[in-house]
Amino acid sequence: MENMVNVYLFGKKYTVPAGLTIMTAMEYAGYELVRGCGCRNGFCGACATIYRIKDKQELHACLACQTEVQEGMYVATLPFFPLVKQVYNIENIKPTEQIMMQLYPEIYACIGCNACTKACTQELNVMQYIAYAQRGEYAKCAEESFDCVMCGVCSSRCPAGISHPQVAMLARRLNGKYIAPECGHLADRVNEINEGKFESLIEDLMQKPIEEIKELYNTREIEK
């Protein structure tokens, strides 16, 4: 029983190997994950989880696929968080300060408590990108929120009821549609993909081990 830890999943105690993620520990304990597991690599935000450590008061938020179990961890998953998603046609709106006020007026009730930033599973400066959205600085909001995985944990801690991921999504769409400079060869590349030019390259990529794919992604050439 060396290198084992005691964790509490949904109120029941289990002894699991140290070093497992919360998600794999749940499977080790016999749970079948049929929802809330998503990509399993930290990119989809489907496995939002809250936990406390025994005898400590602080409540933590995380993604279960990338957080290791700890001794005395009490775990509860969040199957979803009811974010407010306004309906709009991107072709009919413009990147004005008024459009954010019209669609997500609650952002102007932000009290600056920074609970959203502290809760973010991606360690984003959430309160800062909301401040950009308030001022209509959508390019800055899009950049600051780029790594958001829409897990909704930030919104679960917000006393003003702000749907931070949806605000960020609107900012990124406005930025991509109206503000960011047009990439001249993008349409040509899309046509090439539709014509099947890269099918063999994609098939080859799909056969590579995950670590090699990560290395290719991390060392890719990023167009300025």
Give the model's pLDDT for residue 141. 97
Identity at 8, one-letter amino acid code: Y
The residue written with tokens 């063999």 in the block is 200
pLDDT in tens, 10-37: 889 999 999 999 999 999 999 888 777 8
Per-residue pLDDT, 224: 66
Q: Give the tens place of pLDDT for each residue, 95-124.
A: 998 999 999 999 999 999 999 999 898 899
Q: How is residue 17 written in tokens?
A: 């190997």
Residue 85, by phi and psi: left (phi above 0), alpha (psi -120 to 50) or beta? beta
CA dist., res. 148 & res. 165, Å (int): 7
CA distance 106 to 159: 11
pLDDT value at residue 88: 94
Spatial CA neighbour of 136 closest among 170, 91, 186: 170
Tell me which H or E stretch contains 222.
Answer: none
Does residue 144 contact residue 129 with C-beta atoms inside 8 Å?
yes
What pLDDT was estimated at residue 2? 66
Radius of gyration (Cα) for the chain, nearest Å? Answer: 21
Q: Which residues in the chain come in under a pLDDT of 50?
A: none
Q: Which residues pair with 14 in a beta bridge?
A: 7
User: In 10 A of CB 5, how many CB atoms?
Assistant: 18
Q: pTM surpassing 0.75? A: no
Report the pLDDT value the prediction gives residue 1, as an integer from 0 to 100.
Answer: 54
| Domains within the chain, CATH numbers bracketed | 4-77 (3.10.20.740), 90-179 (1.10.1060.10), 186-215 (no CATH)
Three-state DSSP at 207 gives coil
At residue 101, the pLDDT reads 93
